[in-house]
Structure 1
Amino acid sequence: MLSQSGRRNKRVFGAGGGRSSPLARLDLVLWGVPLALAALAGILIASTQRQANYADWYQHWVTAAVGMVVALLLARLPLERLLPFKWPIYIAMVASLIAVRLVGTSALGAQSWINIGGFYVQPSEFAKLGAILLLAEVLARHPVDRPVDLVRPVGLISLPWLLVFVQPDLGSSLVFAAVLLVMLFWAGMPGAWVLLLLSPLVTAITAGTLPVLLLGWIPLVGWMAWKSLPWKRVALAISLAVQGLFAVATPWLWQHGLRPHQRARLTLFLDPGQDPLGGGYHLLQSTVGIGSGQIWGTGLMQGSLTKLRFIPEQHTDFIFSALGEETGFLGSVLVVAGFALLMARLLQIAGRARSDYEALVVVGIGAMLMFQVVVNINMTIGLGPITGIPLPWLSYGRSAMIVNFIALGLCASVGRRGRTAQGAW
């Protein structure tokens, strides 16, 4: 995390550095984990399509190959070269999200894709990366030392967040929020402020589930505001007003602000058996498939539930269920360990970055990837609501795959030019 003294002693934007040969030393974790996941995913996707009338599993590998080439090119590009394009990237990002609303294609209850020459592109995936690049530049120049400093980063991310939320794509909109909070914390915002920003969400959930707990929760939030914010009386009053507003408005918004399928997604994971042939079907079949894999799994291409296509959309959002059935507990743990190892490597790269801007880009990318990993796996095993978030490098999806590899290339660029990188990339 960038401390106050760290920001004073460290350059906001590094310059030059890192002219080593491209083949000097390959970062085995940074490249090896995603490539292994993409290779495994192709087999799992092929397994889900054995009884289908189409077979596009190989396109997952083709897309990964294209993404890998792009990533290797970006790994040679210093991130500062992107700074002059930050506003054009942001404008293009917003324009593409507006275009989705006007000429987009709908699927699975959301209007999230644009048909470009026969290829379906999902602008919200690219918008995540565009938002990270702009937020990193803003936070590097304007660290969050006062509450008023939040206006700029929150305002910049609010527009793309809103455009994604109204598609409606709840999962992707949550990614924007997670990225913002993690980057704010890394940029030096006190942890108590992070809790205060999250407190309305906790209040909303509590108001809809156990409202009696609000009698203790709202005073606690007010106390945190009093202790951590300036203008204590004003901070206390605003905090209590916001919590009260969310406590009162949540029940009404639940009934009138969400569509039936959205409400079902948020509650059925608690008891999918209440609608076993409808909204709870995905989750029930997913947990049965994962459980049937037991310790060692049935073997690749041998899963019965996967073969018979009991789990809808298994090659995309529910690919982890195929992994659990065919590779068992051992394979699932190895994949989770791979993601954890990748996250540790990203944090290492961020800590060794030559500038605050580069560190924030890597941290934002890490937050984007790991939030998707946690939410996707939790929803497939029944520990969270179904939100439609793909599992990086494993779920089928061209846009997500390309964006993940672009993100990988940007991180490799920072790692290659890091203070102790010695030319590694």
Structure 2
Amino acid sequence: MPTYQGTRATRLGAKARGKRRQRIQFDPVLWGIPVFLTLLAGVLIASTQRQSPLADWENHWITAVVAIGAAVGLSRVALKHLQQLLLPVYIATLVSLLAVKLVGTSALGAQRWISIGGFNIQPSEFAKLAAILLLAGILAKHPIERPVDLLRPMAVISVPWAMVFIQPDLGTSLVFGAVLLAMLYWAGLPLEWLVLLISPLPTALIAGLLPWGLIPWFALLALLAWRSLPWKAIAVAVSLAINGLFAWITPLLWEHGLKDYQRDRLILFLDPTKDPLGGGYHLLQSTVGIGSGQIFGTGLMQGQLTKLQFIPEQHTDFIFSALGEEAGFIGCVVVLVAYLVWAWRLLQIAGQARSDFESLVVIGVLAMVMFQVIININMTIGLGPVTGIPLPWLSYGRFALLVNFMGIGLVASVEREARRARMRLQ
């Protein structure tokens, strides 16, 4: 029969082994896929700069080392300890965005950076994480049960969205909208309300492309408002009035509110040959490069279109075209599957989270990353307009890389706390 001391020693030994397992636990999907993509990115970036004295692939990997260190640090902090800092972090982010407008540094026609000690810092990237954290805190405390409950989260996201939009940075501002919609849906927003919330966007598109389609579209919106909202007659009237305003104002904005190059940028993806040496140049060269890779590609560091730099600044937003040329269809599929597996893992972690706040943070990070993946890839293969959205972990961009890894750190913290909770129940 074991003695008390022996039993106690056994318990202490098991506890120590459990803590040791927690310290060395490594999620191969959550961490491994982004690291793999980052390593691949270094090779692709180096390939795009073979004819250039630049060596941004080194900076990409150096930034990745720093970013992974920051992510590991965040993963060791329980998110419940960050909840007291959500508002101060959000306010500090807004102050930094305001500083960009007042004393920021301009490049390529946009004012998006603050120069501090010789380093250009891009606050809009950090604003995405700050918005995710504060939105998660608000939605966890105030779930969406009435239409009026939408006011808080929309107010939180609208301020940084507007400040980023006027920089101008259309791509990043779109990310805020995608994050808001995904987190609202995960927080329990009815699907009908979600459709009504985003309805002005399709209304604007229909008004510009197929005006006759507004009749069935408005009928559908009226039905959704009547079935899902209180004060049914008022809800229908308000929904139709808002969408009617967008339908009326869209053609006016198109003709008088946008400059020629802005209109071209939005529609040239439909037929880039209309301006093959101007706005359609990137799209044409990108699709040619991807197509030239065929099934297996030319081999890494062997792409001739990439080597000759047919696409300016290819190492940033158009890095997927280098992947298509050098790794071919197979390589593109491998990367796409990697993103999908990573997204599925985050959905699992969100479902296992201990609290609504932690679950919503994971969904926010998932929406932030995957929205950029979808938009960037569609852009490079000619299925969407050029928006300036980078491809996570593959495109060169130091602060985007840092923020994406910090997002992983937040998700890893949620996974770690959920795993600890399961072990305590065993």
Normalising by the smaller structure, the TM-score range is over 0.9
> Counterpart in 1 of 2:196?
196
> Counterpart in 2 of 1:140?
140
Output one character per residue of 1:256-312: Cα deviation in whole Å (capped at 9) or x when no partner: 333433322210100000000000000000000000000000000000010000011
Q: Give the distance between the partners of 1:19 and 1:190, measured in 2 at CA.
A: 41
Q: Give the C-alpha shift of residue 254 in structure 1.
A: 1.7
Q: Give the C-alpha shift of residue 223 in structure 1.
A: 1.2
The answer as to whether partners of 2:56 and 2:396 remain within 8 angstroms in 1 is: no
Q: Give the C-alpha shift of residue 313 in structure 1.
A: 1.7
One-letter identity of the residue aligned with 2:414: V
> Counterpart in 2 of 1:378?
378
One-letter identity of the residue aligned with 2:83: L
> Counterpart in 2 of 1:34?
34
Distance 1:115 1:256, change over 3 A: farther
> Counterpart in 2 of 1:268?
268
The answer as to whether partners of 1:265 and 1:386 remain within 8 angstroms in 2 is: yes
> Counterpart in 2 of 1:5?
none
The answer as to whether partners of 1:265 and 1:385 remain within 8 angstroms in 2 is: yes
State which structure, 1 or 2, has the greater radius of gyration over its C-alpha atoms.
2
> Counterpart in 1 of 2:304?
304
Q: Give the distance between the partners of 2:20 and 2:149, measured in 1 at CA.
A: 39
Q: Give the distance between the partners of 1:19 and 1:224, measured in 2 at CA.
A: 52
Output one character per residue of 1:38-78: Cα deviation in whole Å (capped at 9) or x when no partner: 00000000000111132222100000000001111111110
- Identify the range of structure 1 (279-288 vs 261-270) with the bigger mean alpha-carbon deviation: 261-270
> Counterpart in 1 of 2:72?
72
> Counterpart in 2 of 1:405?
405
One-letter identity of the residue aligned with 1:184: L
Q: Any idea what SS the aligned residue of 1:115 has?
A: strand
> Counterpart in 1 of 2:101?
101
Output one character per residue of 1:7-48: Cα deviation in whole Å (capped at 9) or x when no partner: xxxxxxxxxxx9665543210000000000000000000000
Output one character per residue of 1:330-375: Cα deviation in whole Å (capped at 9) or x when no partner: 0000000000000000000000000000000000000000000000
Q: Any idea what SS the aligned residue of 1:316 has?
A: coil
- Identify the range of structure 1 (336-345 vs 217-226) with the bigger mean alpha-carbon deviation: 217-226
Q: Give the distance between the partners of 1:280 and 1:291, measured in 2 at CA.
A: 17
The answer as to whether partners of 1:416 and 1:422 remain within 8 angstroms in 2 is: no
Q: Give the C-alpha shift of residue 88 in structure 1.
A: 1.0
Q: Give the distance between the partners of 1:350 and 1:108, measured in 2 at CA.
A: 38
Q: Any idea what SS the aligned residue of 2:112 has?
A: strand
The answer as to whether partners of 1:269 and 1:384 remain within 8 angstroms in 2 is: yes
Q: Any idea what SS the aligned residue of 2:399 has?
A: helix
Distance 1:81 1:61, change over 3 A: same
Q: Give the distance between the partners of 2:192 and 2:179, measured in 1 at CA.
A: 17
One-letter identity of the residue aligned with 1:96: S
> Counterpart in 1 of 2:153?
153
Q: Any idea what SS the aligned residue of 1:46 has?
A: helix
The answer as to whether partners of 1:372 and 1:391 remain within 8 angstroms in 2 is: yes
One-letter identity of the residue aligned with 2:403: V
- Taking structure 1 as the reference length, the TM-score comes to 0.93
Q: Give the distance between the partners of 2:345 and 2:33, measured in 1 at CA.
A: 11
The answer as to whether partners of 1:175 and 1:368 remain within 8 angstroms in 2 is: yes
The answer as to whether partners of 2:183 and 2:360 remain within 8 angstroms in 1 is: yes
Q: Give the distance between the partners of 1:334 and 1:324, measured in 2 at CA.
A: 11
> Counterpart in 1 of 2:10?
none
> Counterpart in 2 of 1:240?
240
> Counterpart in 2 of 1:258?
258
One-letter identity of the residue aligned with 1:387: T
> Counterpart in 1 of 2:347?
347
The answer as to whether partners of 2:100 and 2:112 remain within 8 angstroms in 1 is: yes
> Counterpart in 1 of 2:327?
327
Q: Give the distance between the partners of 2:172 and 2:70, measured in 1 at CA.
A: 23
> Counterpart in 1 of 2:176?
176
Q: Give the distance between the partners of 1:91 and 1:107, measured in 2 at CA.
A: 26
Q: Give the C-alpha shift of residue 108 in structure 1.
A: 2.6
Q: Give the distance between the partners of 2:83 and 2:19, measured in 1 at CA.
A: 20
Q: Give the distance between the partners of 1:412 and 1:342, measured in 2 at CA.
A: 13
The answer as to whether partners of 1:296 and 1:331 remain within 8 angstroms in 2 is: yes
- Identify the range of structure 1 (306-315 vs 49-58) with the bigger mean alpha-carbon deviation: 49-58
Q: Give the distance between the partners of 2:207 and 2:114, measured in 1 at CA.
A: 38
Q: Any idea what SS the aligned residue of 2:341 has?
A: helix
Q: Give the distance between the partners of 1:376 and 1:221, measured in 2 at CA.
A: 30
Residues 46-61 of structure 1 aligned to structure 2 (within 5 Å): 46-61=46-61
Q: Any idea what SS the aligned residue of 2:301 has?
A: coil
Q: Any idea what SS the aligned residue of 2:199 has?
A: helix
One-letter identity of the residue aligned with 2:60: H
Q: Give the distance between the partners of 2:255 and 2:395, measured in 1 at CA.
A: 32
Q: Any idea what SS the aligned residue of 2:270 has?
A: coil
> Counterpart in 1 of 2:317?
317
Q: Give the distance between the partners of 1:232 and 1:119, measured in 2 at CA.
A: 55
- Identify the range of structure 1 (111-120 vs 130-139) with the bigger mean alpha-carbon deviation: 111-120
Q: Give the distance between the partners of 2:122 and 2:20, measured in 1 at CA.
A: 36
- Identify the range of structure 1 (116-125 vs 42-51) with the bigger mean alpha-carbon deviation: 116-125
Which has the higher relative contact order, 1 or 2, with Cα contacts under 8 A spaced 6 or more apart?
1
Q: Any idea what SS the aligned residue of 1:269 has?
A: helix
Q: Give the distance between the partners of 1:235 and 1:154, measured in 2 at CA.
A: 19
Alpha-carbon RMSD across the aligned residues, in angstroms, is 1.4
* Structure number having the greater helix percentage: 2
The answer as to whether partners of 1:298 and 1:328 remain within 8 angstroms in 2 is: yes
The answer as to whether partners of 1:415 and 1:421 remain within 8 angstroms in 2 is: no
Gaps of 5+ in 2: 1-17
Output one character per residue of 1:85-111: Cα deviation in whole Å (capped at 9) or x when no partner: 111111111111111111122223321
Percent identity (aligned): 65
Q: Give the C-alpha shift of residue 255 in structure 1.
A: 2.7
Gaps of 5+ in 1: 1-17
Q: Give the distance between the partners of 1:241 and 1:306, measured in 2 at CA.
A: 50
- Taking structure 2 as the reference length, the TM-score comes to 0.93
One-letter identity of the residue aligned with 2:183: M
One-letter identity of the residue aligned with 1:94: L
